[in-house]
Every structure is written in C-alpha cells, then in structure tokens.
Structure 1
Amino acid sequence: MSVQWWLRKPYAVLVLVLLLSLLLGACGNHAGPKEVVFWTSVTDDIDMQAQRDIATAFNQANPTLHVRVVPEPSTGIGDSTALITSVRGGVGPDAFLMDRFTVGQQAALGLLADLYPYTSKEQNLTGQYLPFAWSETQFQGHPYALPMDTDARVLYYNKTVLRAAGIDPAELDPKNGPIKMSKLKELAFKVNHKDAHGNYDRVGFIPWFGQAFHTTWALDYGAQFFDNKQCQLTPLEPAMLKTFTMYHDWSQALDFQKISTFTATYQPANALPSQNPFYSNHLAFKIDGDWDLSSIKQYVPKLDYGVTYMPVPDDRSTPFTWSGGFAMTIPTGASNPDGGYRFLRFMAGPEGQRIYTKETSHLPTWKALLDEKQLYDPGHLFFARTLAFSVSRPPLPVGGQISDELASVQDKVDFNTASPKEALQEFYNRVQPQMQQYCPFKLEGWSNPYK
C-alpha cells in the first residue's frame, strides 16, 4: 500500500490535524520564560558579579521569568540622560538599580513608577527596612524604589602618625564616645608639621578630604535643608552657617594653598588608589566610608589604624553618621512591570541582600540581616552598629542641584572668595527657582534628628 493512497483516506486527514494540534500545543507549553530587563548603574567587577549571582538565584527560584543584567553606568549624581531617552523611546528596562539619593529627583521628572500598588499589598514592608533608607525612597508620600544596600561614615585615625606627634591613640577608642570638634582640632593641629621649605609633610585633619564634604557637616550640625510650610530651601539656617563658617576658619588657619600643595604632593590628580596620605602615614585623621576597609586590606594591609565615631559639635554627645546607597526602581512604561517588581522584591529583600552583602561587603538595608553576624568581617561590625542612628540626605526633587551648588559654596569659602553667608545666598538664588517648580511640595517622612 503506497503512502499516497493512505493519505487520500478521509480519516488520515483527521489524524494529521490532530497530530499538528498536539505538536503546536506542546510548543506553546514549553515557551521560554518572560524576560525582565535589569539595568544597573553600579558596574565595577565585584558588584557586577554579585548582581549576576542574584539574577541567577532569582531565575532558579522563578522559572517563569528570566532576568537579563545590563550595565548602564551613570556619568554623575542625578544624571538622567539614559533613563530619559529610554523612557521616552518606550524601550526602558523593567528594573533599574540607581543611586537612592536621586530617587526623588527622578520621580519628580516622571521617570519612575509609583510602587505603592505593589507595596500596599504587603504587610509591614516598611518596617523591614532601616528607617533612613526607606525615607529616601519616598516622593510625595509614596515609595518609588526599594532600598538595596547602604554604607556608613566614620572617623579613621592613623595610630603611627598620632604616636609620632606624641598622641596616645587610645584617646580615640570608640568606648570614649564621639570626639568633639574642638578636641579634634586640638589634636589635629598638634600633628601638623612642616618641612624646611615651609611645606606640610604631616597633617592632622583636612575637613574637606574624603567624605568630609558639605553634606556630611551640614547633617552633623543638624541642617534641615527645607521648610515645608514655605516650600523654601533653607541655606541660611544656623546649621548651614556653622558648617561653612567651620570651613572658612579651618581653611584660613591651615592656609588653604599650602594644604592644596600637600594633597597634590601625597595624592596627586589621577593617582593610583594606593597613593593616599592616610595610607602613607602623612595624614592622621580622615572621614570615610566602610568601602575603604577593602582598599586598606588590598593596598596597605599592615597599616596601623583604627575607626571611631564621627566628630560632633561641642554641644552634643550623641554619635552621628549618615548613609547613602542604591535602590531598585521600575522606570515608567516598563514592558514587564510585574516581573520587574518581583525581581525588585527579591534583590532588595533578604535573599538578594544576603548575597550582595556577603560578596561585596556592602551593608544591607533589610534590618533582620544586621543580626546575621556571619555576613560581616570584624571591621564591618562597627559600621553595621552605627546604622541604628544613621540619617540620609533629604529626598528633594532638586537633590542633584543642591549637591552641585553646595560644592560651589564650599569652594568659594575655602578659597575665601566669598563669606559663608554670601555664598549661601548665591546658592539660594540659583536653586530655589528650580525648587519652586515643584511647589507646593512637602518633604514627608524625613527629618534630621540632630537638629
């Protein structure tokens, strides 16, 4: 019997139709998982590997979804170029890891999706995160991101340099509490030393070196930055004036030009990370973050140093630090927002943060993970403890502009080209008109407890 004869039979056609239906159905049942496109602005080798590992763990736990990790480095604080282009072009990602400080600014521009429809379905999600980190994700009372990681700032002290100046490093033991600004200045000026040519070869402390910049001191002195009732920035509030008066007085006492020569000598522009005056025993104190622990371990493992609380104003004894970090967001118009949120919740939840903390030595924002001591090396435990009293920067829609303009104020005061009050008034004149576009606006869920 020929094949052609068999196919001419009526029942043969029916059998073929059934076979084709089964085949197509089988193909449909084995369709690939739905893609979640994930952009990240944190693109160094260690962090990228950790994020890929988190994506792999998520994909294994969620077989109907597949996360594709795409590095998308930022060119600076508040840079929205890539996000604006992608959102307006309708080709934005489903999830994005970005600087948490910029969430309010990006939300105000309409670039981020409101996460309240998702977070409102979860019981007490707010309470699982460190308060300062959660508050930094808010815009107009709604969350536009989930906090991912965080950091903390402390005072590092070089024991070798202190001993050379006749100072007992035990004075800086954290058991003694935070050092007062007047005491720090006393010790720092005792360390200062100049060579035969009148140039510094040893310096105690530089209030604008490392993480000792405008926002650090403004928060430490208790700045509130914004008046909700007036919808006004507050650069002339007492804490701001104290901050920049301190800069002025200290830069004049040190001679700013000579300090500039010192830093250019011991840490010139584009120097290797290992070339640092603190590492080479030429600087006694510096304010920096927990990320510096890995640099010390890599470049100067035998450095004799310690860490203690940040210096505080003379009229306060409570310890202080502030924290930044990154957050997971869903850009506006994402093609797979539900899948994006599931990944957000995993990466910024205990599963993802546990992987990230262990592989990168960043600190978590999920509170329960702070009790998992095995995630931290001994040096990190002190930083982890400071998170209990940390504060964030205020999540204002002009946060990037504020940071840029305060840097300009700092330069003017350090170079003595304007008084603190004059420079801060110029700051107000430049940034308040940009803030005015968002008025009426209320900074909800944030305040500086150190006021």
Structure 2
Amino acid sequence: MSIRHWLRKPRILLISLFLLSMVLAACGNSAGGPKQVVFWTSITDDIGIKAQRDIADAFNKANPDLHVNVVPEPTTGTGDSTALITSVRGGVGPDAYLIDRFTVGQQAALGLLSDLYPYTSKENQDLSKQYLPFAWSEALFQGHPYALPMDTDARALYYNKTVLRQAGIDPSILDPKNGPIKMSKLKELAFKVNHTDSHGNYDRIGFIPWYGQAFHTTWALDFGAQFYNNNTCQLTPLEPAMLNTFNMYHDWSQAMNYQKVSTYLATYQPANALPSQNPFFTNHLAFAIDGDWNLASIKQYVPKLDYGVTYMPIPDDRTTPFTWSGGFALAIPTGAQNADGGYRFMRFMAGPEGQSIYTKETSHLPTWKDLLNDKQLFDPGHTFFANLLQYSVSRPPLPVGGQISDELSSAQDKVDFNTATPKEALQEYYNRVQPQMQQYCPFKLEGWSNPYK
C-alpha cells in the first residue's frame, strides 16, 4: 500500500499509530516502566493544549506508576464523534477523553462512554456535592455519571458606553449594582440607540436578540423552558417559555426588518472579517450577549474600549439574575485499555489540582466549587462571571441534544425570516426530533431542571 494512500486515510493512519503506541506501551510496561494513559483532547489551541500538558506533567510527577500521553484530536464541531466512534468500534479507544459536556448524554446513549458509577461510588466523598450542580447534572445519563465536569463559562450582557452616550443614554443605569435589566427596558433602550444613514441603512443598532450568544437556547432557558416532559417522554415545543422565545424573535425581527439587520451585519462584520471587526468593538452596537471568554478578545483587540458588563436581561415578572453555562468534561470511552489509569487521571484533572492549573492558564472558570473561593485564580473581570455561577443552569442533557439544537436553529431562522409562525416552526421542530427521542423512551431526565420556570 502506498504512502499516498495512507495520507488520504488520516483516520486509518491515526488508529494504526494508536495501535503501535499501545504495543510499545505494553513493551514498556513489561520492562517495569509506568503504564501508559492515552488522553484525547479536542481543545488544541496554543493556550489550551499547553495547560492540559502542564496538568499531565503534574499528574505524571505525582503518579510515577502512570504516564499520560496528551493526544490532540480536533473535531469539526459540537457533537462530532467521528473519531471516537471509529476508535471505540475498533477497540482502540483512548483511556480518557475530553468531551463537550452538552453531548455526554448523547454519546452515552450511543454506547460510546463508560458508566463512572463503579469508580465514583468508591470515593471517600460525594463528588456530586463537590461540583457546581448544573455541571454535575449535565454529565449524568439515566441518573449515573458518565463524565467528570471540567471547566465552565457564563454569559452576561456587555454594554458599549460610547454608543449609549451617543444615543443620549447614561451608561450608569446598566451598573450591576442596579440588578438585572428587564426585557422591556432593554428593548426601550435598544430602539432608542437604533440609527440609520441617509440611505435608510442601519449604521448603529442597540441590540440584536439573535446575534452572538443571544440565540434560542439562551432565551428559552431565560424564560424558563423545561424542553422535555418526564411523564410523557415528549419534547415540549409549545410550552410558554418556548412560545415566549419565538414570539420575541418574531416581534423584534419584524420591528427592525430582519433583512436590514442582515445588511448591517454584512457591512460591519462581513464574512471572514478580522476578530477586531466586530460591531460592538467598533462602536456600532450598544448591547451584546457574550461569555466570559470575550474579556480576552477585548483585551487583545480593543484594550481601550469603553464598556461594561452586567447581568443578563430577564423577563419583566422576575427579579432573580440568570445565566447559563457550558463547558467540557472528562469521560472514559467504552473499551478503554487502561480505564483505571484513565479514571485516576480524570479525577486529578477535573479535581482541584488540575482545575487550578487550567483556570490560571486559560482564564476559564472552574466547576470544582471550592475553587470559586480562591480569589487569586481570577482577575477582576472574571470575578463577576465567577459570582454569576450561583445563578447558572445548563442545557438539558437529553440523548438528542444535538438534534434539538440544530432544529431549534432552523426554527429560529424561519421565524426571523417570517416564513413560518412561531407555532408552526416549533411544531416542525417537534415533528423532526420527537421520533428520534422516541427510541429512548421511557427516558427520565434525572438531576436536571430549570429553576427559572
């Protein structure tokens, strides 16, 4: 077989190299060396991969009988499990695997992940009490842990003080000490900011509720969506929170003219634009919902930007702050060659030792609760987001989570473009995803609920 053929088959090459590494590892073990732990990670940027290698080095030093090999394994997007499926089905899966926590239920339902209860049940402490509740519940499937939560994030409302002042609005009303802004007040301020040029095109916009992290899941959780009924094993597309979300999209997109907003975005943030070419960064957008990771982008690209960060907007009938969080987790793929070693490493990396290193080096937020009290881990900007975690909720860990997200995005587009009513778009979402959910029925979504219902 030619070299050219192998280069056209990167997955085959990867698996072959993995098998070779297993053979070499076995030889090393027979000679009395440390037993190998193969760790796959999809976080491969310079900062992230360095932090993970530093964690592996610290673990190796503290556990001389084991040696962790960090293997970058990029994915094509959330829920992409191509490499994992190939390796597990071929019996050559890694011993530990960094997974988007949102997809744990889906991958566990496919039989790709090992139940961690045999390990966690032997711990001398209840791990469920050590992690942030939303992060722990997101790593459960059928009531059992299939992953250990790693890092997390939080979302908030960023406001551009320069743009607000241009519109005659005092930015101090957005100060977090005043509490969360109500949706009706945000809309009032946003429409006051909106401005068009001599051709009738937007050159300044207050807020776009479908831009950035302002998408269907954000609003559905904020309005209190439960997504699923345990008693009937049915998705709940027409629950009030879902209807509120998509009615809001319809009303706002019609009031602003969705096509004019699209033209604005194409002008001020065209495809393939530099990261610095962001309408919020260039003083053309007053409000944006984004995560704590945006702090690093502002520091890098627009360090002199005059901005503030406050709580997410909330429904008019509520006072409690809200945010939601994602993040990653560590799992043992089915059929791992060294599952025991994999769990020991996972426990270290997802525990206080590993998460301390990761938080310091990446500025991500930890899921190990006690670390939130270590103020040395956070700069002032991240302290606000760390404090937000007490109000956070995760997405529901359903075995069709990826399909739900995709179909809700399609429904959102239909409502924004006014090609379907909110009820029609949500009913179509249900018609597409419920048959896929049905194969798992009866199914109980245990350990998760949206407290903002």
- Under a length normalisation based on structure 2, what TM-score does the superposition of the two structures give? 0.93
Partner of 1:144: 146
Letter in 2 for 1:411: D
**Distance verdict in 2 for CA 1:29–1:145, change over 3 Å:** closer
Report 1:265-284 matches (<5 A).
Answer: 265-284=267-286
| Aligned counterparts of 1:40 and 1:28: Cα–Cα separation in 2 | 24
Partner of 1:32: 33
| Aligned counterparts of 1:111 and 1:124: Cα–Cα separation in 2 | 25
Which residue of 288, 301, 306 maps to 1:286? 288
Which residue of 191, 194, 197 maps to 2:196? 194
2:198 alignment partner, SS class:
coil
Partner of 1:127: 129
Indicate if the aligned counterparts of 2:162 and 2:283 stay in contact, CA closer than 8 A. yes
| Aligned counterparts of 1:76 and 1:354: Cα–Cα separation in 2 | 27
Partner of 2:48: 47
Partner of 2:60: 59
- For structure 2, which runs of at least 5 residues remain unmatched after alignment? 1-27
| Aligned counterparts of 1:124 and 1:101: Cα–Cα separation in 2 | 22
Which residue of 205, 214, 238 maps to 1:236? 238
Letter in 2 for 1:395: P
| Aligned counterparts of 1:34 and 1:322: Cα–Cα separation in 2 | 39
1:82 alignment partner, SS class:
helix
Partner of 1:98: 99
Letter in 2 for 1:320: F
Partner of 2:379: 377
Which residue of 150, 156, 159 maps to 1:157? 159
Indicate if the aligned counterparts of 2:113 and 2:146 stay in contact, CA closer than 8 A. yes
Partner of 1:11: none
Partner of 1:4: none
Letter in 2 for 1:321: T
Q: Deviations over 1:182-211 (max 9, x none)?
A: 000000000000001110000000001110
Letter in 1 for 2:181: I
1:167 alignment partner, SS class:
coil
Q: Deviations over 1:390-416 (max 9, x none)?
A: 000000000000000000000000000
Deviation at 1:311, TM superposition (A): 0.2
| Aligned counterparts of 2:319 and 2:169: Cα–Cα separation in 1 | 22
**Distance verdict in 2 for CA 1:255–1:57, change over 3 Å:** same
Letter in 2 for 1:243: T
**Distance verdict in 2 for CA 1:349–1:28, change over 3 Å:** closer
| Aligned counterparts of 1:265 and 1:281: Cα–Cα separation in 2 | 13
Report 1:38-437 matches (<5 A).
Answer: 38-122=39-123, 123-437=125-439
**Structure 1 consecutive aligned stretches of length 4 or more whose deviation exceeds 3 Å:** 27-30
| Aligned counterparts of 2:362 and 2:410: Cα–Cα separation in 1 | 33
- Under a length normalisation based on structure 1, what TM-score does the superposition of the two structures give? 0.93
- For structure 1, which runs of at least 5 residues remain unmatched after alignment? 1-26
Deviation at 1:41, TM superposition (A): 1.1
Deviation at 1:79, TM superposition (A): 1.3
Deviation at 1:271, TM superposition (A): 1.1
1:134 alignment partner, SS class:
helix
Q: How many residues align?
A: 425
Partner of 1:12: none
| Aligned counterparts of 2:170 and 2:99: Cα–Cα separation in 1 | 42
| Aligned counterparts of 1:368 and 1:319: Cα–Cα separation in 2 | 22
| Aligned counterparts of 2:77 and 2:410: Cα–Cα separation in 1 | 16
1:161 alignment partner, SS class:
helix
Indicate if the aligned counterparts of 2:193 and 2:205 stay in contact, CA closer than 8 A. yes
| Aligned counterparts of 2:441 and 2:114: Cα–Cα separation in 1 | 21
Deviation at 1:81, TM superposition (A): 1.0
| Aligned counterparts of 2:259 and 2:329: Cα–Cα separation in 1 | 39
Deviation at 1:28, TM superposition (A): 8.6
1:76 alignment partner, SS class:
coil
Q: Deviations over 1:355-408 (max 9, x none)?
A: 000000000000000011011111000000000110000000000000000000
Deviation at 1:307, TM superposition (A): 0.3
2:383 alignment partner, SS class:
helix
Indicate if the aligned counterparts of 2:29 and 2:35 stay in contact, CA closer than 8 A. no
2:397 alignment partner, SS class:
coil
| Aligned counterparts of 2:240 and 2:373: Cα–Cα separation in 1 | 38
| Aligned counterparts of 1:381 and 1:318: Cα–Cα separation in 2 | 19
Deviation at 1:32, TM superposition (A): 1.5
| Aligned counterparts of 1:270 and 1:90: Cα–Cα separation in 2 | 40
Partner of 2:18: none
Deviation at 1:326, TM superposition (A): 0.2
Deviation at 1:321, TM superposition (A): 0.2
Rg bigger for which structure?
Answer: 1
| Aligned counterparts of 2:30 and 2:303: Cα–Cα separation in 1 | 56
Percent same amino acid among aligned pairs? Answer: 83
2:211 alignment partner, SS class:
coil
**Distance verdict in 2 for CA 1:374–1:49, change over 3 Å:** same
Letter in 1 for 2:290: D
**Distance verdict in 2 for CA 1:359–1:188, change over 3 Å:** same
Q: 30-39 vs 273-282, which deviates more?
A: 30-39
| Aligned counterparts of 1:365 and 1:263: Cα–Cα separation in 2 | 35
| Aligned counterparts of 1:150 and 1:86: Cα–Cα separation in 2 | 27
Letter in 1 for 2:35: K
Deviation at 1:270, TM superposition (A): 1.3
Q: Deviations over 1:280-334 (max 9, x none)?
A: 0000000000000000000000000000000001111110000000000000000
